[in-house]
Amino acid sequence: MPEQPQQPEGAIAGTGAGGAMDLAASEATALERGPGGYGGRGGQDKPRSLWSDAWRDLRRSPVFLASSVVILFLVVISVWPSLITSGNPLQCDLAKAQDGSQPGHPFGFDGQGCDVYTRTVYGARASVTVGVCATLGVALLGSVLGGLAGFFGGAWDGFLSRMTDIFFAIPVVLGGLVLLSVVTSNTVWPVIGFMVLLGWPQIARIARGSVITARQNDYVQAARSLGASPARILLRHIAPNAVAPVIVVATIALGTYIALEATLSYLGVGLKPPSVSWGIDISAASPYVRNAPHALLWPSGALAITVLAFIMLGDAVRDALDPKLR
């Protein structure tokens, strides 16, 4: 792969975490320039911060570029599926059940005679929605609870640590079967709620640990000695220095939440028909996999690529944000 040091910024208008990085980086650049530029220093001493360094590393990472292209594509088709398919995922023709690929129907038909291509495209929406919302929820709840526990310590910390132990002890799939089987709603929200409920302790532990690390820094002592209030210390001095590990873990977790949604839907407790989801399609196609393997392979392939893209993105972000790897 040839080096491209002068890649134009915003060549890939990143999405999801990529978009957030983009924003953070351009904000950082604006801040660093400050009023009046650099005076006599000629500008060769480029200002650097954790975020601008990370963004520079990311732009050169093929893993990041490849995964962001995939994720961008997924987000676009989950918002506007009609861009690449004119079909209706719920309009099925039993006469064509299990048929192979035909002109206009490249992926063939499933057991109900529905177009597999259209259903695969529409299935992205459920996966992306669940993945993104569950991750946001988990990251918010986990970092607030974990951050407060790490900052204040004491009894609240002890209580929270025991709570995370309890939630860690719940097997995710079993918990899902029990809790979600009583839900009758056919939207993504119960699934997202369940993931947030079981997922927050992971982020809470990470946030707690990184807040404790950041709290011990001299600049926190210095801020205290200069009269800053606890809220100011936490929000202005600790949070920006403790957020990187949370971002990394949350990005990687996004992929696993998408896989979990498919798992729960496969088991019949996640999304239920007539919702369209890869997990539902995989489940429906599995009994007749010998007659119509295409009905199983396309949604499974889409799921695998999506999960892989998010996990790769998380990996690239971790590499860029970990100063020890530099």
Partner 1 sequence: MLLEVHDLHVEFGTRDGVAHAVNGVSYRVDAGETLAVLGESGSGKSVTAQAVMGILDTPPGRITGGRVLFQGRDLLRLKEEERRRVRGAEMAMIFQDSLSALNPVLTVGDQLGEMFTVHRGMSRRDARLRAVELMDRVRIPAAAQRVGDYPHQFSGGMRQRIMIAMALALEPALVIADEPTTALDVTVQAQVMDLLAELQREYRMGLVLITHDLGVVADVADRIAVMYAGRIVETAPVHDLYKAPAHPYTRGLLDSIPRLDLKGRELYAIQGMPPSLTRVPPGCAFHPRCPLARDVCRTDVPPLQAVQGPGAEEGERASACHFWRECLHG
The contact set with partner 1 (CB under 8 A) reads: 31-41, 45, 47-50, 217-219, 221-229, 232, 236-237, 240-241
The CB-of-11 to partner 1 minimum distance in angstroms stands at 27
How is residue 72 annotated by DSSP?
Answer: H
User: Is 8 or 37 the residue whose CB approaches partner 1 more closely?
Assistant: 37
How far apart, in whole angstroms, are the C-alpha atoms of residue 249 and residue 191? 20
User: Is 187 or 229 the residue whose CB approaches partner 1 more closely?
Assistant: 229
Q: How far apart, in Å, are the Cα atoms of 252 and each of 164, 169, 255, 314?
A: 19, 21, 6, 5
The CB-of-14 to partner 1 minimum distance in angstroms stands at 21
> What b-and-e string marks burial along 141-165, b requiring 16 or more CB atoms within 10 Å of the CB?
bbbebbbbbbbeeeeebeebeeebe
The CB-of-45 to partner 1 minimum distance in angstroms stands at 7
Can you say whether the dihedral through the CA atoms of 203, 204, 210, 211 is positive or negative? positive
How far apart, in whole angstroms, are the C-alpha atoms of residue 213 and residue 276? 44
How far apart, in whole angstroms, are the C-alpha atoms of residue 250 and residue 244? 10
User: Is 181 or 221 the residue whose CB approaches partner 1 more closely?
Assistant: 221
User: Is 3 or 218 the residue whose CB approaches partner 1 more closely?
Assistant: 218
The CB-of-153 to partner 1 minimum distance in angstroms stands at 8
Write phi, then psi, for 87 (nearest 5 degrees). -75, 175
User: Is 105 or 224 the residue whose CB approaches partner 1 more closely?
Assistant: 224
The CB-of-217 to partner 1 minimum distance in angstroms stands at 6
Residue matched to tokens 């239920």: 272
